[in-house]
Each structure stands twice: as structure tokens, then as C-alpha cells.
């Protein structure tokens, strides 16, 4: 036997539809009332950050970060060879890029706080960074004059995912130059910019762009990367980039 309430029957389909519609209206009203109590969405926050970000600082960070990791080295050689073999490419490039991002963040955050506490430190590191960049550029010019280097594929040597990632991490974190290049140099140069976050994000994005391009573009670029002449041109470009950045540090 159907229930009755207020002259309406619970067994009446029309009554049930009306009751459901009334309930949904109340829920919608409640949600609208609570809208202002919650923070803006993540996408809105990202948009606001992007609007206030210094594009010049971000581009400078990207250029410096890209130049520092562009030169031939053990880490890049390993990523290239993994890309040529198509072995665990995603894991390897992520390990490299995330490691770089962590080192960049540590450098920018640490040097920013230190520069505020010790004003003279910023001047010392600016000249120190310029000296290092001049030496780094000269080293690339010397490599170009020596005839360049060539990276050769070592064949389809099987390697487990764990071994590949551990090798990549060892080449990154056990290399003493990575702390000088990434932490010290990027950290000190970031102190020259008011928007250090933009500079850091630019440098981090350069790492992701480079390693993903190298890992997944290795097969396409194989003829180029195995040519000593190509590495000569690359060494000259990197050397010039380093010297231009050094000149900006010295002359402002």
C-alpha cells in the first residue's frame, strides 16, 4: 500500500520526480553559496604566476641551462646511446631532468638566501661565475681546435631498467662538475635577477627539453652526433655562448 504525506503519494512517479528536482535545486544553491569559500583553481593560480613572471629572466635561465648541458659529456653520451638503442629512454631522461631540476632548485634557493644575508657575496660570485664561464668557453674552443669528438653507438647491449637508471644517477650525482655547473654557477647567476623563480624554471625547462630531445631524437640525429665535424661546430657555439654570458656578468 503506498505511503501518503501531505496529500501526495510516495508511490506516485510524478511526486518522486518533483521531490528529486527540489533536492537537486537545494544542492546547487548550496554549492553556489560555498563557491567563494574555496581558493581559485590550480589553473587560475598557474595563469596568475605566468602573468607576473619575468620573461627575460626565464629566457636567460633557459639559455644558460641549455648551454651548460649541451656540451658532450658522460651523461649526455649515456642518454644518447640509450636513445640509439631505444632502451628505457623515458626512465633515463626523467632521471636526468629531475636530477637537474633538484640541483637547480637547491642552487637558486640557497644562493638567493645567502645573497640577501651577505651582499658582498653576490659580487664575489658574479666575478667567480664570469671567470668560470671564460674557462668553460675556452675549453670548448680548445676541443673544437683539437678536432672534435664523436659518439658511437655501442650496440644493443641488454641492460635492466634498474641498472640503466642507477647508471644515469651515478653519472649525474657523482660528477663533481655538476655541482659547480648547476648548483654554484646557476645559483650565483640567478642572484643577478629579481625574479629568481622565473630564472630557475627557465633553466629547469631547458633540462627537460634537452634530455627528452636527445633521448627520443637520437635515432633521427644519429648521423649528426656520430660526426666529429658536427661536434666541432657544437663546441664553438657553446664556447661563444659561455663568453657572451660572461661578458654580460662583467659589464652588466
Q: Counting beta carbons within 10 angstroms of the beta carbon of residue 139, is it exposed (0 to 12), middle (13 to 18) or buried (19 or more)?
A: middle
What pLDDT, on the 0 to 100 scale, is given for residue 101?
94
Q: With pLDDT > 70 as the criterion, what percentage of the chain qualifies?
A: 69
**Residue 12 CB partners (closer than 8 Å, separation 6+):** 2
pLDDT of residue 72: 62
Strands (E), the chain: 4-5, 8-9
User: pLDDT value at position 3?
Assistant: 44
pLDDT band for 8, please (50, 70, 90 cuts).
Answer: very low
Q: What would the pLDDT profile of 131-165 be if each residue is shown by its tens digit?
A: 888 888 898 898 888 876 665 544 445 678 999 99
Q: Tens digit of pLDDT for each residue in 97-128?
A: 999 999 999 888 886 576 667 778 777 877 88
- pLDDT-derived band at 207, boundaries 50, 70, 90: very high
Phi, psi (5° rounding) for residue 2? -70, 145
pTM listed for this prediction: 0.61
Instruction: Over range 18-29, report the average pLDDT.
Output: 45
User: CA 54, 60, 66 angle in degrees (round to 5)?
Assistant: 135
pLDDT digit string, tens, across residues 128-140: 878 888 888 898 8
81 vs 212 pLDDT, higher one: 212
Closest CA to 172 of 89, 97, 65: 97
Q: How far is CA 185 from CA 126, 168, 210, 252, in A?
A: 9, 22, 19, 17
Most confident of 59-73, 88-102, 191-205: 88-102
Between the alpha carbon of residue 103 and those of residues 128, 153, 155, 191, the distances in Å are 19, 29, 32, 15
- What pLDDT does residue 5 have? 44
- Give residue 77's pLDDT: 79
- For residue 241, the model assigns a pLDDT of 82
Amino acid at each position: 500500500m503506498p505511503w501518503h504525506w501531505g496529500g501526495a503519494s510516495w508511490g506516485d512517479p510524478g511526486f518522486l520526480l518533483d521531490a528529486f528536482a527540489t533536492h537537486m535545486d537545494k544542492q546547487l544553491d548550496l554549492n553556489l553559496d560555498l563557491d567563494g569559500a574555496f581558493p581559485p583553481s590550480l589553473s587560475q593560480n598557474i595563469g596568475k604566476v605566468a602573468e607576473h613572471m619575468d620573461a627575460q629572466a626565464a629566457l636567460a635561465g633557459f639559455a644558460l641551462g641549455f648551454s651548460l648541458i649541451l656540451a658532450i659529456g658522460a651523461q649526455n653520451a649515456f642518454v644518447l646511446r640509450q636513445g640509439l638503442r631505444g632502451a628505457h629512454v623515458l626512465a633515463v631522461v626523467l632521471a636526468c631532468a629531475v636530477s637537474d631540476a633538484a640541483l637547480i632548485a637547491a642552487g637558486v634557493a640557497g644562493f638567493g638566501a645567502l645573497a640577501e644575508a651577505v651582499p658582498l657575496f653576490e659580487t664575489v660570485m658574479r666575478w667567480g661565475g664570469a671567470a668560470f664561464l671564460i674557462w668553460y668557453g675556452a675549453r670548448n674552443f680548445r676541443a673544437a681546435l683539437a678536432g672534435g669528438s664523436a659518439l658511437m653507438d655501442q650496440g644493443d647491449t641488454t641492460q635492466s631498467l634498474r641498472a640503466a637508471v642507477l647508471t644515469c644517477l651515478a653519472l649525474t650525482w657523482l660528477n663533481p662538475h655538476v655541482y659547480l655547473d648547476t648548483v654554484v654557477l646557476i645559483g650565483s647567476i640567478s642572484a643577478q635577477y629579481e625574479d629568481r623563480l622565473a630564472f630557475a624554471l627557465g633553466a629547469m625547462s631547458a633540462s627537460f627539453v634537452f634530455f627528452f630531445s636527445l633521448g627520443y631524437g637520437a635515432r633521427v640525429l644519429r648521423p649528426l652526433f656520430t660526426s666529429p665535424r658536427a661536434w666541432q661546430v657544437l663546441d664553438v657555439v657553446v664556447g661563444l655562448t659561455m663568453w657572451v654570458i660572461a661578458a654580460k656578468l662583467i659589464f652588466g
